[in-house]
Chains A and B, each alone.
Chain A
Amino acid sequence: EAGVAQSPRYKIIEKRQSVAFWCNPISGHATLYWYQQILGQGPKLLIQFQNNGVVDDSQLPKDRFSAERLKGVDSTLKIQPAKLEDSAVYLCASSPTAEREQFFGPGTRLTVL
Protein backbone atom coordinates (compact mmCIF):
# COMPACT_ATOMS: atom_id res chain seq x y z
CA GLU A 1 0.00 0.00 0.00
CA ALA A 2 1.46 3.35 -1.01
CA GLY A 3 1.91 5.88 1.74
CA VAL A 4 1.08 9.57 1.91
CA ALA A 5 2.95 11.44 -0.81
CA GLN A 6 4.05 15.04 -0.53
CA SER A 7 5.88 17.41 -2.84
CA PRO A 8 8.14 19.21 -3.00
CA ARG A 9 10.34 17.80 -0.24
CA TYR A 10 12.29 21.02 0.15
CA LYS A 11 11.55 24.61 -0.77
CA ILE A 12 13.50 27.82 -0.23
CA ILE A 13 11.81 31.15 -0.90
CA GLU A 14 12.23 34.78 -0.02
CA LYS A 15 9.82 36.47 2.35
CA ARG A 16 6.72 37.89 0.69
CA GLN A 17 6.86 35.24 -2.03
CA SER A 18 4.18 32.60 -2.49
CA VAL A 19 4.53 28.85 -2.16
CA ALA A 20 2.29 25.82 -2.58
CA PHE A 21 2.56 22.30 -1.23
CA TRP A 22 0.84 19.22 -2.55
CA CYS A 23 -0.38 16.11 -0.74
CA ASN A 24 -1.75 12.83 -2.05
CA PRO A 25 -3.25 10.77 0.77
CA ILE A 26 -3.50 7.02 1.03
CA SER A 27 -6.18 5.76 -1.32
CA GLY A 28 -9.57 5.59 0.33
CA HIS A 29 -8.68 7.77 3.29
CA ALA A 30 -11.50 10.24 3.87
CA THR A 31 -9.72 12.44 6.39
CA LEU A 32 -6.75 14.61 5.51
CA TYR A 33 -4.70 16.85 7.79
CA TRP A 34 -2.07 19.53 7.32
CA TYR A 35 0.35 20.21 10.19
CA GLN A 36 3.09 22.75 10.73
CA GLN A 37 6.14 21.57 12.67
CA ILE A 38 8.60 24.22 13.74
CA LEU A 39 12.08 22.94 14.57
CA GLY A 40 12.20 21.41 18.04
CA GLN A 41 8.43 21.44 18.53
CA GLY A 42 5.58 19.03 18.05
CA PRO A 43 3.35 19.35 14.99
CA LYS A 44 0.50 21.84 15.13
CA LEU A 45 -2.71 21.16 13.24
CA LEU A 46 -3.44 23.74 10.56
CA ILE A 47 -6.49 22.25 8.88
CA GLN A 48 -8.50 19.04 8.81
CA PHE A 49 -10.62 17.89 5.87
CA GLN A 50 -13.31 15.24 5.83
CA ASN A 51 -13.60 14.34 2.15
CA ASN A 52 -13.62 17.79 0.53
CA GLY A 53 -15.16 19.65 3.48
CA VAL A 54 -13.27 21.52 6.19
CA VAL A 55 -13.74 20.11 9.71
CA ASP A 56 -11.30 22.29 11.62
CA ASP A 57 -9.26 25.27 10.44
CA SER A 58 -9.20 27.17 13.71
CA GLN A 59 -5.40 27.41 13.78
CA LEU A 60 -4.90 28.26 10.13
CA PRO A 61 -3.66 31.86 9.66
CA LYS A 62 -6.28 32.65 7.10
CA ASP A 63 -4.82 36.01 6.14
CA ARG A 64 -1.95 34.21 4.42
CA PHE A 65 -2.63 30.47 4.41
CA SER A 66 -5.21 28.67 2.32
CA ALA A 67 -5.91 25.02 1.65
CA GLU A 68 -8.24 23.06 -0.54
CA ARG A 69 -9.09 19.47 -1.20
CA LEU A 70 -10.95 19.38 -4.45
CA LYS A 71 -12.73 16.11 -5.24
CA GLY A 72 -11.90 14.85 -1.77
CA VAL A 73 -8.55 13.33 -2.74
CA ASP A 74 -5.42 15.45 -3.28
CA SER A 75 -4.89 18.60 -1.31
CA THR A 76 -2.83 21.77 -1.68
CA LEU A 77 -1.68 24.17 1.01
CA LYS A 78 -0.67 27.67 -0.05
CA ILE A 79 1.12 30.47 1.73
CA GLN A 80 0.85 33.96 0.28
CA PRO A 81 2.84 36.01 1.21
CA ALA A 82 5.35 34.03 3.24
CA LYS A 83 6.95 35.36 6.40
CA LEU A 84 10.20 34.36 8.06
CA GLU A 85 8.28 32.62 10.86
CA ASP A 86 6.67 30.28 8.35
CA SER A 87 9.94 28.38 8.10
CA ALA A 88 8.96 24.89 9.21
CA VAL A 89 8.19 21.39 8.03
CA TYR A 90 4.69 21.02 6.66
CA LEU A 91 3.30 17.56 7.24
CA CYS A 92 0.33 15.99 5.55
CA ALA A 93 -1.45 13.05 7.17
CA SER A 94 -4.46 10.95 6.29
CA SER A 95 -6.69 8.42 8.02
CA PRO A 96 -9.57 6.21 6.91
CA THR A 97 -11.90 8.03 9.27
CA ALA A 98 -11.40 10.76 11.85
CA GLU A 99 -11.26 8.25 14.71
CA ARG A 100 -8.53 6.08 13.25
CA GLU A 101 -4.77 6.54 13.51
CA GLN A 102 -3.15 8.95 11.12
CA PHE A 103 -0.46 8.13 8.58
CA PHE A 104 2.03 10.88 7.93
CA GLY A 105 3.80 11.85 4.74
CA PRO A 106 7.52 12.69 4.59
CA GLY A 107 6.86 16.42 4.91
CA THR A 108 7.96 19.53 3.02
CA ARG A 109 10.75 21.54 4.61
CA LEU A 110 10.17 25.25 3.91
CA THR A 111 12.87 27.84 4.46
CA VAL A 112 11.88 31.49 4.18
CA LEU A 113 14.82 33.88 3.78
Chain B
Amino acid sequence: GQNIDQPTEMTATEGAIVQINCTYQTSGFNGLFWYQQHAGEAPTFLSYNVLDGLEEKGRFSSFLSRSKGYSYLLLKELQMKDSASYLCAVRVGWNKLSFGAGTTVTVRA
Protein backbone atom coordinates (compact mmCIF):
# COMPACT_ATOMS: atom_id res chain seq x y z
CA GLY B 1 0.00 0.00 0.00
CA GLN B 2 0.92 3.66 0.03
CA ASN B 3 1.63 5.82 3.05
CA ILE B 4 1.34 9.52 2.22
CA ASP B 5 1.78 12.20 4.86
CA GLN B 6 1.22 15.92 4.69
CA PRO B 7 0.41 18.54 7.33
CA THR B 8 -3.25 19.01 8.15
CA GLU B 9 -3.38 22.80 8.16
CA MET B 10 -1.27 25.83 7.33
CA THR B 11 -1.98 29.54 7.62
CA ALA B 12 -0.19 32.33 5.80
CA THR B 13 -0.59 36.00 4.97
CA GLU B 14 -1.57 37.39 1.59
CA GLY B 15 1.54 37.99 -0.51
CA ALA B 16 3.64 35.53 1.46
CA ILE B 17 5.10 32.14 0.47
CA VAL B 18 3.95 28.80 1.82
CA GLN B 19 5.60 25.40 1.37
CA ILE B 20 3.52 22.24 1.79
CA ASN B 21 5.58 19.12 2.37
CA CYS B 22 4.58 15.61 1.43
CA THR B 23 6.38 12.39 2.30
CA TYR B 24 5.46 9.01 0.89
CA GLN B 25 6.36 5.36 1.06
CA THR B 26 5.30 3.29 -1.91
CA SER B 27 6.29 0.59 -4.34
CA GLY B 28 5.88 0.99 -8.07
CA PHE B 29 6.20 4.77 -7.94
CA ASN B 30 5.20 6.39 -11.23
CA GLY B 31 4.82 10.07 -10.50
CA LEU B 32 3.61 12.51 -7.89
CA PHE B 33 0.75 14.94 -8.38
CA TRP B 34 -0.50 17.97 -6.53
CA TYR B 35 -4.17 18.90 -6.70
CA GLN B 36 -6.04 21.92 -5.42
CA GLN B 37 -9.53 21.50 -4.01
CA HIS B 38 -11.76 24.37 -3.00
CA ALA B 39 -14.53 23.62 -0.52
CA GLY B 40 -17.41 21.84 -2.20
CA GLU B 41 -15.62 21.48 -5.51
CA ALA B 42 -13.71 18.83 -7.43
CA PRO B 43 -9.92 18.51 -7.15
CA THR B 44 -8.12 20.25 -10.00
CA PHE B 45 -4.66 19.41 -11.32
CA LEU B 46 -1.79 21.68 -10.27
CA SER B 47 1.48 19.90 -10.97
CA TYR B 48 3.19 16.64 -11.81
CA ASN B 49 6.71 15.37 -11.02
CA VAL B 50 8.14 12.04 -12.10
CA LEU B 51 11.85 12.92 -12.13
CA ASP B 52 13.83 14.55 -9.33
CA GLY B 53 13.89 18.30 -9.33
CA LEU B 54 11.77 21.39 -9.45
CA GLU B 55 8.86 22.07 -11.78
CA GLU B 56 7.70 25.67 -11.95
CA LYS B 57 4.35 26.88 -13.19
CA GLY B 58 3.71 30.52 -12.52
CA ARG B 59 3.21 31.13 -8.80
CA PHE B 60 3.25 27.39 -8.06
CA SER B 61 6.31 25.14 -7.99
CA SER B 62 6.65 21.50 -7.06
CA PHE B 63 9.76 19.59 -6.07
CA LEU B 64 10.45 15.86 -5.96
CA SER B 65 13.18 13.72 -4.43
CA ARG B 66 12.48 10.09 -5.20
CA SER B 67 15.34 8.76 -3.06
CA LYS B 68 13.92 10.57 -0.03
CA GLY B 69 10.27 9.91 -0.82
CA TYR B 70 9.66 13.63 -0.50
CA SER B 71 7.90 16.37 -2.38
CA TYR B 72 6.83 19.91 -1.67
CA LEU B 73 4.45 22.38 -3.25
CA LEU B 74 5.52 26.01 -3.07
CA LEU B 75 2.92 28.71 -3.38
CA LYS B 76 4.30 32.21 -3.92
CA GLU B 77 2.64 35.62 -3.75
CA LEU B 78 -0.30 34.15 -1.96
CA GLN B 79 -3.74 35.41 -2.87
CA MET B 80 -7.00 35.03 -0.98
CA LYS B 81 -8.27 32.70 -3.69
CA ASP B 82 -5.44 30.28 -2.85
CA SER B 83 -7.30 29.34 0.35
CA ALA B 84 -8.09 25.70 -0.37
CA SER B 85 -7.09 22.15 0.36
CA TYR B 86 -3.92 20.88 -1.38
CA LEU B 87 -3.73 17.17 -2.05
CA CYS B 88 -0.53 15.23 -2.60
CA ALA B 89 -1.10 12.09 -4.68
CA VAL B 90 1.21 9.28 -5.69
CA ARG B 91 0.65 7.23 -8.82
CA VAL B 92 1.45 3.54 -8.75
CA GLY B 93 1.69 1.86 -12.14
CA TRP B 94 -0.10 3.86 -14.79
CA ASN B 95 -3.56 4.18 -13.41
CA LYS B 96 -3.80 4.11 -9.63
CA LEU B 97 -3.62 7.44 -7.83
CA SER B 98 -3.44 7.37 -4.02
CA PHE B 99 -4.05 10.59 -2.14
CA GLY B 100 -2.81 12.03 1.10
CA ALA B 101 -5.34 13.50 3.51
CA GLY B 102 -4.77 17.01 2.18
CA THR B 103 -3.43 20.25 3.67
CA THR B 104 -5.91 23.06 4.27
CA VAL B 105 -4.27 26.39 3.54
CA THR B 106 -5.87 29.54 4.91
CA VAL B 107 -4.71 32.85 3.49
CA ARG B 108 -5.30 35.86 5.73
CA ALA B 109 -5.35 39.50 4.68
Genuine A/B complex:
no
